[in-house]
């Protein structure tokens, strides 16, 4: 098994990484391969896993991810730092099984017709930092609305608990193959009108944003890309998925509860 370990550099994480390496070295057939791994183990937070996803996004179809958190339970991290022994044992004791979650495909088309593709795990937003963003929004090539405001955010189900949630979007279970679009401070008055609520589109649908601006900012999982001379941006669910090792995978609504409400022990 070819394994890569990706981690942040805080002291707690570095201790967990050292322990993890020692445990893995004792297992037969383990090769540390940061270039072409079968399994990527991340140690840190959700941000660490997002960075690792982008590092290996071209190989995402052949990789399984395992997230170890060294802080709070994350949305992409299942294991606690103190449970790495249990995690390494589980990795070698059974047939691999994965939980698969949708990814967002972003196609940026320039005025010259050039196409640039990006893949997001959480979301992509189109924004203007100063001045209002004006854009036409199409669903399946049909004009849906003329948007005016700070921007628009398109998120995956796993990304729905990130930036999308802060924008008032719904939290969506990641087994649903659906994309959500949430508005960022839209202008609504007698002249300009948008739907003013988040929408969730079906798996085979796509959203096209045609910005009426020479330049704007597009983010992909929080990373800023300055865009000039874009004709349109197409958003759809990618054919690719991210795969997480299923063993030890935490129930989605338990994560949501733990992150946003707080642990409770009451049972029905």
Annotated catalytic residues are 46
Contact 192, 168 (CB under 8 A): no
Identify which of 182, 228, 238, 248 has the alpha carbon closest to the alpha carbon of residue 53.
Answer: 238
Q: Which residues contact 20 (CB under 8 A, 6 or more apart)?
A: 5, 41, 43, 68, 84, 88
Give the nearer residue to ligand NAP in terms of CB position, either 222 or 248.
Answer: 222
Binding of ligand NAP by 162 (CB under 6 A): yes
CB of 112 to ligand NAP, least distance (A): 29
Per-residue x/- track, 164-183, ligand NAP (CB under 6 A): --x-----------------
CB of 69 to ligand NAP, least distance (A): 7
Give the nearer residue to ligand NAP in terms of CB position, either 24 or 227.
Answer: 227
CB of 163 to ligand NAP, least distance (A): 4
d(CA 259, CA 179): 22
Site for ligand NAP, residues 39 to 58, rule: CB under 6 A: 45-47, 50
d(CA 188, CA 192): 5
> Could you tell me where the DSSP H helices lie in the chain?
11-25, 46-55, 84-93, 163-166, 252-256
Binding of ligand NAP by 161 (CB under 6 A): yes
- Tell me the backbone φ, ψ of residue 114, rounded to 5 degrees: -70, 140
Strands 199-201 and 123-127: unpaired
Identify which of 232, 229, 224, 227 has the alpha carbon closest to the alpha carbon of residue 216.
Answer: 227
CB of 161 to ligand NAP, least distance (A): 4
CB of 141 to ligand NAP, least distance (A): 27
Give the nearer residue to ligand NAP in terms of CB position, either 156 or 208.
Answer: 156
CB of 139 to ligand NAP, least distance (A): 23
d(CA 149, CA 192): 10
Binding of ligand NAP by 74 (CB under 6 A): yes
The count of residues interacting with ligand NAP (CB under 6 A) is 16
d(CA 122, CA 194): 24
Binding of ligand NAP by 150 (CB under 6 A): no
Site for ligand NAP, residues 94 to 133, rule: CB under 6 A: 122-123
d(CA 37, CA 65): 10
Binding of ligand NAP by 75 (CB under 6 A): yes
Candidate residues 78, 145, 150, 221; the one interacting with ligand NAP per rule CB under 6 A: 221
| Interface stretch with ligand NAP, choices 15-23, 129-137, 155-163, 201-209 (CB under 6 A) | 155-163
Binding of ligand NAP by 222 (CB under 6 A): yes
What phi-psi label fits residue 81: left (phi over 0), alpha (psi between -120 and 50 degrees) or beta?
alpha
Contact residues toward ligand NAP (CB under 6 A) are 45-47, 50, 74-75, 122-123, 158-159, 161-163, 166, 221-222
């Amino acid at each position: 098994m070819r394994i890569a370990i990706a981690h942040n550099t805080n002291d707690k994480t570095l201790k967990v990484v050292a322990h993890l390496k020692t445990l893995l070295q004792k297992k037969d057939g383990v090769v540390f391969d940061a270039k072409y791994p079968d399994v990527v183990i991340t140690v840190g937070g959700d941000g660490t896993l997002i960075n690792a996803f982008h590092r290996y996004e071209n190989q995402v179809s052949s990789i399984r991810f395992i997230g170890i958190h060294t802080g709070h339970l994350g949305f992409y991290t299942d294991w606690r730092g103190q449970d790495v022994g249990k995690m390494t044992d589980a990795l070698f004791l059974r047939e691999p099984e994965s939980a698969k979650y949708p990814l967002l495909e972003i196609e940026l088309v320039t005025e010259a017709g050039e196409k640039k593709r990006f893949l997001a795990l959480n979301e992509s937003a189109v924004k203007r930092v100063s001045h209002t963003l004006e854009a036409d929004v199409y669903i399946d090539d049909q004009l849906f609305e003329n948007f005016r405001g700070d921007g628009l955010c398109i998120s995956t189900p796993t990304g729905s608990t990130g930036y999308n949630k802060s924008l008032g979007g719904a939290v969506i279970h990641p087994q649903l193959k659906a994309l959500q679009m949430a508005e960022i401070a839209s202008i609504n008055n007698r002249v300009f009108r948008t739907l003013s609520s988040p929408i969730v589109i079906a798996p085979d649908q796509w959203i096209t944003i045609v910005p009426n601006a020479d330049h704007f900012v597009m983010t992909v999982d929080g990373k800023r890309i300055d865009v000039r001379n874009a004709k349109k941006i197409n958003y759809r669910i990618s054919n690719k998925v991210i795969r997480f090792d299923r063993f030890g995978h935490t129930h989605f609504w338990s994560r949501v509860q733990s992150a946003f409400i707080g642990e409770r022990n009451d049972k029905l």
